[in-house]
Each structure stands twice: as structure tokens, then as C-alpha cells.
Structure 1
Amino acid sequence: MALAAMQSVDMQGTMAPKLAVQKLTLSNFRNYVSARLDVDQGPVLLTGENGAGKTNLLEAVSMLAPGRGLRTAKTREMDRAGGDSPWAVSATVMSTMGEVSLGSGREPEGERRLVRINGANARSQAALGEYVNVVWLTPQMDGLFQEGASARRRFLDRLIYGFDSAHAGRLNAYDKTLRERSRLLKEGRADAAWLDALETQMVERGIAIVAARKTMAERLNLVCRKADGPFPGAGVAVTGSLEDWLGRMPALQTEDRFKQALQENRRRDAETGGAAHGPHRSDLEVTHLGKGMQASLCSTGEQKALLISIVLAHAKLQAAELGTAPILLLDEVAAHLDADRRAALFEILLGLNSQSWLTGTEPGVFEGLLDRAQLFRVANATIERIDNNN
């Protein structure tokens, strides 16, 4: 959809067919020996004490999408301690392409992540992006605007997956080529032709990555610049040398400039590692528009509200463009909002017609949503459905 057309996005949410998990099965995953959860398309509320396994269930859902999940964990780290086999997660999901069976897990003899779709092995985890898009907020993300740029890049890239399932594959291919170039430069034994070939691949993939990020930021700005109830308006921009070049010159000229920079910085890159220029150097900048202040300078509560604003804007954007919102995983988000923001969040989630998964230690934190959601109690890696209609 053209950017101009995006100005007509309904800021109150768009009713759309749901992307939803229907059945989730875990085996030797984190603290679960085995578990099965059957859910409908409405909000899923998981309550229980800290350490019971609530976040582990959200992580299992996140492993139905490309990437390393909401904890950015290595595959072996998700194995159950003392378990006798690698972890596995499977699910029946209603997608825009109809009902689909998805599975993911660690290969028995290594670190590689295996993916199965409708019973058949997938070539890579990127194939999951054709069926499922999952976006999450966790307590660990509260410091997103204070941390290094890599966490912010991962956050933005996760938002892109819902619109461009090939983005994950480009990122993986770029990172692999970058590492290969760095290794050859460090060893000092690569011939110029081989380096030229690697740098050509870096340029092609790198410019595509940067273009996708710039487009995503521009789309988000159209829907999150205006405050949504108690959630502040946010300005979103992607910064970096490639972004600057792409904003000032045509794409082909930007490719030439990037290729030249890689060639000119080979000696420096050999000493420092990596590359002085590239999408791995980009950053996401967010501004609290109501205060005209960079997110990194805002209070902790304001930073959390800005993150929620961006995630909700992305969900509305995806519903408007693609006809369905992403699955939202909100870990302990409601408990850290005041009553007004909590009530507003619940109404927005319901208006999105999105399946959302929320965690909290007590059911009371979900007041106003309980009678419109399905409630589960999690304790010691066991899951019990609770009748919340009484």
C-alpha cells in the first residue's frame, strides 16, 4: 500500500480476521515436561506466582515465528533441565491461509532449530513468517531505549516480519556474509575477488534491509504520531550512515557508495572486526511527541507507554494493510500500568480483534477484561483453566 494511502488508517482499530493459536503443545520446554493448552480466539490470561511458567508459555508461542523468541535464547537453553530429549513446541494455528500445523524444536545432536509445517520439514525457520506474526513486550524490554542499538534493531525487525516474511532471511544472510568477510580480513588471506563477491552480497542485502526499516518507520509514523487515549504520540526514525545516504541519493547510487565504503575500510575493519558501515550499525530513535523529548530521556513509565504505543500502532497498521493483526504477547505489562492506561489497553486490544496473551500474578490485574477473556492458572508447570464467569 502506498504511504499516502496509509493516512486513512482507522486509529480506533480495524476489525479483521484473527490470527490465533488454537492448540499449543510443549515437550521438555523450559520447566515443562509436557503440556497442552487449548484456547479460543479471544484474549488469553495467564496468572500465577513468579517462576510458575507463565513467561515460558509466551516464549513457546514466540517460537512459532522466525527468530530466537522473546528471550533471544540459544536453542539448547530452552531444554528442560534434566530432560532426556530436546525441547519441542507445536501448535495448531488459524492463519490467513487457513488452519496450519506448526512445529519447532532443537535437533537432537546440535544447536540447529528444526521447523515443520503441516508435517513437512521446512527449509528454514523463515518459512514460519508466511503463517504467523508475533510481537511481544516483556519486562526486559523496559530498558530498550537505554540499551545498545542492537536490541532496538531487533525490536524494529520483529515489526517488519509481519509485512515482509523474507526480511528474516535477508538478515540471516547478511549476518553470515558479514561474519565471513570479517574472518577473511582478520586472517589476511582473502583475495580481492573473493572479498568483492562477499561485499557485493552485503551491499545487495544491506540496502534491502535498510529500505525495509525506513519504510516501516515511515508507516508507523502515520499511525502513532497522534496520542491514543492515555498512550503518548511517538515519533519513529531509523538512523545510520546507510539511512542517510538512501535519504539523499537514489538506491543504485547508495549501493555504489556502500560498496566503496566497504572497500576503503578493509584495513580498519580487519583491526576492529565487523564493518564500519552497514545495517548492523543502524539505530531506532523514538521521540515522545507530547514532550518533544527523546525516549531515552523520559521516565521509566513514559518509556513503557511509548513502547506500548508503537506496538499498538503496528498492530493497527498490520490489520489495516493485511487484514489481520499479529498475535500479541504482553508479559506483566498490565500490572505496571495505572488504572486508566490498563483499561485503555484492554479496550484497544479488544478493538483490534487480535489474539493477545497476557500474564499477571493475580486475576485482579485484568479487571475489565476477565469477562471477555479465557483465564488460566499456572503453577509448578501445570496449567488449569479457571471459570471466570462467576
Structure 2
Amino acid sequence: MTLSRLSLAQFRSWPRLDLDLDLDARPVAIFGSNGSGKTNILEAVSMLAPGRGLRGSAAPEQARQGKDAGWRIAADLGDHRVVTQAPPDQTRSVALDDKPVPQTALARLVRVIWLVPAMDRLWTEAPEGRRRFLDRVTLSLMPDHADLALAYDKAMRERNRLLRDQVGDPGWYRALEAQMADAGAALTRNRQAALSAIMAAQGPSDAFPAATLTLLPGEGHADDDDADSIAARMAAMRPRDLAAGRSLTGPHRADLGATWGPQDMPASLSSTGEQKALLLSLIMANARALSDQPVLLLLDEVAAHLDGDRRAALYDLIRNLPAQSLLTGTGPELFADLGDAARRLAVEKHDGRSDLAALS
């Protein structure tokens, strides 16, 4: 399955875009000056997955004409037609082959993986960023992960409301804690299985070393995958949680750990270049682990942050991945090593609107 056509209306800087990829599965290198709308194309493609896309933006923020306007994205994916839109004053909706479906249905249609410059701080930022990254990886491998996360978050919000209101009756908590424990145990098992799959899919490469990945419990015993144990801990933690006004234990406190090399160097203590190489290694392994699934790989401004040798090594990996890839950069020279193995899309911006300059 490939992305053969993409149409945008009033999305970010694009008043309209109709991009016909002619059923061509080669990587597409998108280039143009800063602010020309390159990343906006990748963000639109990332909206073919559940959630808020690669920028994590709310739907009103993505409308070209402001939060009181709307936007529409349509895509042909293999034999399927996907339309997702956010009309004015309405939440985002999704239709698959003209039938309304929940966002989670997208996870079963195509796997969307992305890397953006903001993720370069993955190993040094707060655990929340690494947890989001881990859950995106897990979702790509196990589409049910989205439904489990929704069930867990819904029950936790209700429990947190009781905690904030200082409700002391244990009867109000038991059912919610049972729901959190069941969904949380499954979430943790999914995360552990995803880490195993990613490590198994890492390829030996001097440019992009393999990493040992671990699910860190943080402060909330977030590596516990036994539902009875999770429920018992939540019950025991109620006095402390009441004092804090929120749930302090569970898989929502998980963190991702990574070490590499013969000395087991922690990623957080590695150089900036090594951290970038490790991140790329994981992204490539994620795509490789999905060899039996349709994959869209989105790499934003990735070439500008690599030296010539690593850039060439990355392009070699991309050419051999079982994925359809879209890359962005400021100029065509950044993609010279791809040669005829890629298509090139030039974009430019005039009077605040993005336009397609050429596709070759």
C-alpha cells in the first residue's frame, strides 16, 4: 500500500495542494526555503495516524485562516480513501471509504513514523517526551495500544477528579482502579513487547549504532504488568494520592532508557551527534520491524543535522526500508546521494501561502 495522492485545503500555509505521486513508492525529497511549507506537508501526512500529528497541535491551530476556520486532508492509500477534517467549531473527524470511523481505525490502516528536529532533545528532556515516543512506536506495532491508552486515561481522569475533590469513600475508587489496572497492565506488556521488537530489528551499522532499550519504572512502578498488583498498589497509595490531588503510580509514569556500545553508555550522557545517531537507529528499526505492514516514514530536516558520511549511510538505509518515505530539506543538494532513487518536490511561499513549484 502506498500514498498515491494527497489533497489539502486550508491546512497551515497551504490554501490548497493536490499532490499526485503516480503510484510511485520511491522516497520523496521535499525542499524549499525555511517557512515555505515543507513541514506542513509532513504534518498533514502525520494526520493519517491517530492523535495530533507530528507537532502535537490542536485542530484549530492547524487551520490556515485561524482557529475559527477549518481544514481538510484527503489521501488515497492503496485502495482506500481517507478524509480527515476539522470544520469550524467542530472536533476532528475521520472517514474511511466514505464511512465515519474513530481515529483509532487509522492505526490499523497504515503505520506512520516520524522524526522532527524537536525530537533531537529526546534523551535530555523530561520523561513525558520519551513516553510519548515509546507509545508512538508501540502503536505502530500494536494498533490496540490506542484503545488501551484511551481506556486508561479516561479512568485516570475520573480517579483524579475524585482525588481533587477529596472524596474519601473507597467504594468510589475500586471500579476505576480496576479499569486502570487492567488497561495499564496491557499497556505495559505492549510497551515491553515493542522494545523487544525494536531491539531485534536494529541492524549493525557504524553510523547508526544499536541500543539496549529498557522500560524504566520512574516513580510509579510503571514496569509492573500484573493487573492485581497494580490495583493493590493504587489502593494502598490513595492517602498519598489524595494529598497530591492526582495519581502518582501506574504506567503513566513510565520512562524509556537507552544505552549503547561496549561500555553501555547512557544515551543521556552521549554527545549530541551520538544521540541523533541513536534516535535514527531506533526510527529505522521501527520501520524495519513493520516489514509486513504499510509504513509511511516522515523525516523532517534530517539531512541538515548529519555529516556527509552519515547522510549517505542514512540514504542507503532508507532505500532498503519496507516503507514509503518523505524527507524535507532546504535545498536539493542535501539529497544528491539519493540520485535517481528518489523523487524531488520543490515548494515555495508567496504572500503567506505555500505553492508547489515542481515535482520531478
Give the TM-score normalised by the residue count of structure 1. 0.86
Pair 1:384-2:357 in alignment: yes
Per-residue deviation, residues 40-85 of structure 1 (Å, max 9, x unmatched): 2110111000111000000000000111110111111111134873
2:273 to 274, 278, 301: 301
Structure 1: gaps of 5 or more residues: 1-18, 247-253
- Taking the aligned partners of 2:359 and 2:94, their CA distance within structure 1 comes to 32
Please name the residue that 1:117 is paired with: 96
- Taking the aligned partners of 2:55 and 2:262, their CA distance within structure 1 comes to 31
| 2:2–2:294 contact (8 Å) kept in structure 1 | no
1:91 to 71, 75, 79: 75
- Taking the aligned partners of 2:168 and 2:13, their CA distance within structure 1 comes to 46
TM-aligned CA deviation for residue 385 of structure 1: 2.5
- Taking the aligned partners of 1:189 and 1:215, their CA distance within structure 2 comes to 37
1:156-167 equivalences under 5 Å are 156-167=134-145
2:241 to 249, 269, 279: 269
| 1:269–1:275 contact (8 Å) kept in structure 2 | yes
Overall identity of the aligned pairs, in %: 40
Please name the residue that 1:284 is paired with: 256
- Taking the aligned partners of 2:245 and 2:279, their CA distance within structure 1 comes to 32
1:333-372 equivalences under 5 Å are 333-372=302-341
Residue identity in the other structure for 1:383: L
- Taking the aligned partners of 1:342 and 1:291, their CA distance within structure 2 comes to 26
1:3-42 equivalences under 5 Å are 19-39=1-21, 40-42=24-26
- Taking the aligned partners of 1:238 and 1:371, their CA distance within structure 2 comes to 41
Change beyond 3 A, Cα 1:282–1:45: same
TM-aligned CA deviation for residue 370 of structure 1: 3.5
- Taking the aligned partners of 1:296 and 1:25, their CA distance within structure 2 comes to 40
| 2:287–2:322 contact (8 Å) kept in structure 1 | no
Pair 1:235-2:212 in alignment: yes
| 2:222–2:249 contact (8 Å) kept in structure 1 | no
| 2:5–2:18 contact (8 Å) kept in structure 1 | yes
| 1:315–1:325 contact (8 Å) kept in structure 2 | no
RMSD: 1.7
Residue identity in the other structure for 1:109: D
Determine which structure has greater relative contact order: mean sequence separation of CA pairs < 8 Å that are 6+ residues apart, divided by chain length: 1
Please name the residue that 2:121 is paired with: 143
| 2:160–2:245 contact (8 Å) kept in structure 1 | yes
1:214-233 equivalences under 5 Å are 214-224=192-202, 227-233=204-210
Please name the residue that 1:74 is paired with: 58
Partner SS, residue 179 of structure 1: helix
Residue identity in the other structure for 1:78: Q
- Taking the aligned partners of 2:154 and 2:169, their CA distance within structure 1 comes to 19
Please name the residue that 1:3 is paired with: none
- Taking the aligned partners of 2:51 and 2:233, their CA distance within structure 1 comes to 29
Give the TM-score normalised by the residue count of structure 2. 0.93
| 2:60–2:69 contact (8 Å) kept in structure 1 | no
Structure 2: gaps of 5 or more residues: none
TM-aligned CA deviation for residue 28 of structure 1: 1.1
Partner SS, residue 365 of structure 1: helix
Per-residue deviation, residues 7-55 of structure 1 (Å, max 9, x unmatched): xxxxxxxxxxxx4211111111111111111112110111000111000
- How many aligned residue pairs are there? 352
Per-residue deviation, residues 135-176 of structure 1 (Å, max 9, x unmatched): 011000000011111111111111122221111121122112
- Taking the aligned partners of 2:152 and 2:286, their CA distance within structure 1 comes to 25
| 2:298–2:325 contact (8 Å) kept in structure 1 | yes
Per-residue deviation, residues 302-336 of structure 1 (Å, max 9, x unmatched): 101000001111111111xxx23521100011121
